[in-house]
Structure 1
Amino acid sequence: MTCAPFLRIVAVLLFSCLGLIGVWAAAVEEPTPQPAKRLAIVMGNSNYQSARLPHLANADNDARRLSESLKRLNFDVLTGTDLSSDGFAQLFQQADAKLATASAVLIFYAGHGVQLQGENFLLPVDTPDAQNLEQLTARAIRLNDVIAKFASRERQTFIFLDACRNNPVGKGASVADGLAQVEVGENTFVAFATQPGNTTVDGAGDNSPFTTALLQNVEIPGLSISDMMIRVRNETETLTLGRQVPWDQSNLREQFYFTEQQVLDPA
């Protein structure tokens, strides 16, 4: 008779321990939600195979330097240089796998880009020696396709294009220099290295004038993207003696800061 209360106490303690173990096991097995990250896709094409597309000494430097800055700003950065058409596809596939946890997406491209019939194209390094529009765009990347793939109403998308070069197939009714304005998607910001229809220079230094100005301002604490672009525009215009005036189009739904701590800029 004296053992019964003791056995009941032991049984209660045993069931309690088993219950705690079950709760602990469930907590361990349940996957922890991944924190949202800001994703950056940074591309620079310098070494083109076609004789019609001049070598761009700074494009790959621009991509590498900006990648370093964005990593310091806690972006998850994917970097590609001298991308063929297959290289573009592989890089975009890697980025697509990260979109589910991305709170914002930044896309930067330095290299040859053209507008044809009012549509913009980014040129891979394996672009053929084009004699006509069809050959030029056969392996090119449509900018509108990139925007459609990565832009979303639910997150901010930023596209920076240092790609407004001379058109390699010459002038014509449907051919023009530089890049054309785009139809931005919802919550999207697009910045060009110069105004629509104008061309850019690669620059005599380690980086192009536009990327130089971008690098000088992107890490300033507490600077909104709107204020940053004003600085980038003014500094690029100064560096090019007025030849380039960066241009942007925006449909953002709220302000964006590259630095996560939005401290007022003392300047």
Structure 2
Amino acid sequence: MKKTLLLGILLAGAQLSQAQHDHKFKGEWETPKVPLKAPGIVWQYPSTPQLTVEKPQLKVTVCVQSTEAVSQYQFVLNGKAFSSKARGFKKVSCGQEISEELTLTPGTNELHFVAVNSAGKTISESHYITYQTEPTSTPANPIAIAGHTKRTALIVANDSYTKHPLKNPVNDGKALQEHLQKLGFTVIFRENQSRKELKKSIDEFTNGLTDKGVSLFFYAGHGLMVNGDNYVQPVDADPASESDVQFDCFPLRQLVARMEEVNPNGSNLVFWDACRNNPYRSWKRGIGEMSHTTINPPVGTMIVYATEPGKTAQDGEGKNGLFTSELIQHIDTPDLDIRELIERIDFGLEKRGFRQPPYIEGRFRGKFTFNPSER
């Protein structure tokens, strides 16, 4: 009996030693498995989120980084996918370079890239390319556009909402009002507007515009994007459904149309420091819901949104919202063209660690600057 027990103990010890040896051998010689990762995408061209071109053909290039075989590559332009097969592939230091020549449509085009491997799908950030059908012409005295015409602005700042009040819109509106008045604007400033008050303010503003002038509308507050359109949300608006929005809120498209009608040969500018999403999750209709439709303003009208379609604009932790804090920092810069101003806003936010690139629709005739050196 004792011999049998001793033999069992010896056998168990031998098996344990062999298991430990096998485990040690396996740990020393077996290469650890690397977790699978979805592809990485780096834009080569266009390298910036926004680009303006004067030709419809554009060669775009990305660099795809993937340890696994990539099963699908797609450039997606304005919702239409272009599947790359072998054309334009090249191995470079950043990974695999893929190029495609695309045909743009007049106005603003949205472009992103999709790559798929066994670990998953990666969708790149969107780039926005504006195709100008007419070359940009520079007048003999370009700064005369901004320097020797009637300049009128309406500022609407809403923050005292019953639900989800905001901190900075009124501060933003007052700060911009001070800058615009120094720059020669006649400013109508309104805060915490009900829908009835807002309608009255817009009528006052548009009735005072004249052709060949500069008209500016600035809005800070809650904004809605429903069925592709942007809406100003008055402080008394509490829409219960999507169908209520058109009755409770004011459409930006309607205001832009009125500015263009009264001032067709001048410069119409909109600054929209508000969100561009649908905050009511219960309203969402799923994948097929339209998220954005462009206003496509004619030459002479430009809309500058604080953020891209479907995204939120941050109120900021300081005295002013993120977008407005950069706007008022640069708007007084002498001879700074409007597009350079927007680029400085974008760069300033990125430098501060915020990923909220402004989004532009439309363009002016020639150069536009708020503070021309010759006035």
TM-score by length of 1: 0.77
Flag the structure with more relative contact order, 1 or 2, with Cα contacts below 8 A and sequence separation at least 6.
Answer: 1
Say whether the 8 Å CA contact 2:211–2:265 is kept in structure 1.
Answer: no
Q: Which residue of 2 aligns with 1:211?
A: 324
Equivalences for residues 176-215 of structure 1 within 5 A: 181-215=294-328
Say whether the 8 Å CA contact 2:212–2:267 is kept in structure 1.
Answer: no
Q: In the alignment, is residue 85 of structure 1 matched against residue 198 of structure 2? A: no
Deviation at 1:137, TM superposition (A): 3.0
Q: In the alignment, is residue 133 of structure 1 matched against residue 245 of structure 2? A: no
Question: What letter is aligned with 1:88?
Answer: L
Q: Which residue of 1 aligns with 2:37?
A: none
In 1, Cα distance between equivalents of 2:294 and 2:167: 26
Which of residues 327, 337, 353 is equivalent to 1:224?
A: 337
Q: Deviations over 1:167-214 (max 9, x none)?
A: 33213347688x754322331111111122221110000000100000
Look up the SS of the partner of 2:257 in the other structure.
helix
* Larger helix percent: 1
> Structure 2: where are the runs of 5+ without partners?
1-147
Equivalences for residues 222-261 of structure 1 within 5 A: 222-239=335-352, 241-261=353-373
* Larger strand percent: 2
Say whether the 8 Å CA contact 1:148–1:185 is kept in structure 2.
Answer: no
Q: Which residue of 2 aligns with 1:162?
A: 273
In 1, Cα distance between equivalents of 2:165 and 2:212: 34
How many equivalent pairs are there?
223
In 1, Cα distance between equivalents of 2:374 and 2:327: 18
Identity among equivalent positions (%) equals 29
Q: In the alignment, is residue 95 of structure 1 matched against residue 205 of structure 2? A: yes
Residues 104 and 81 of structure 1: CA distance in aligned 2, closer, same or farther (over 3 Å): same
Say whether the 8 Å CA contact 2:307–2:358 is kept in structure 1.
Answer: yes
> Structure 1: where are the runs of 5+ without partners?
1-34
Deviation at 1:68, TM superposition (A): 0.5
TM-score by length of 2: 0.56
Residues 262 and 36 of structure 1: CA distance in aligned 2, closer, same or farther (over 3 Å): closer
Q: Deviations over 1:86-141 (max 9, x none)?
A: 1111111221232127611011101111111111111111102x331122332211
In 2, Cα distance between equivalents of 1:225 and 1:209: 18
Moved more, 210-219 or 133-142: 133-142
In 1, Cα distance between equivalents of 2:212 and 2:167: 32
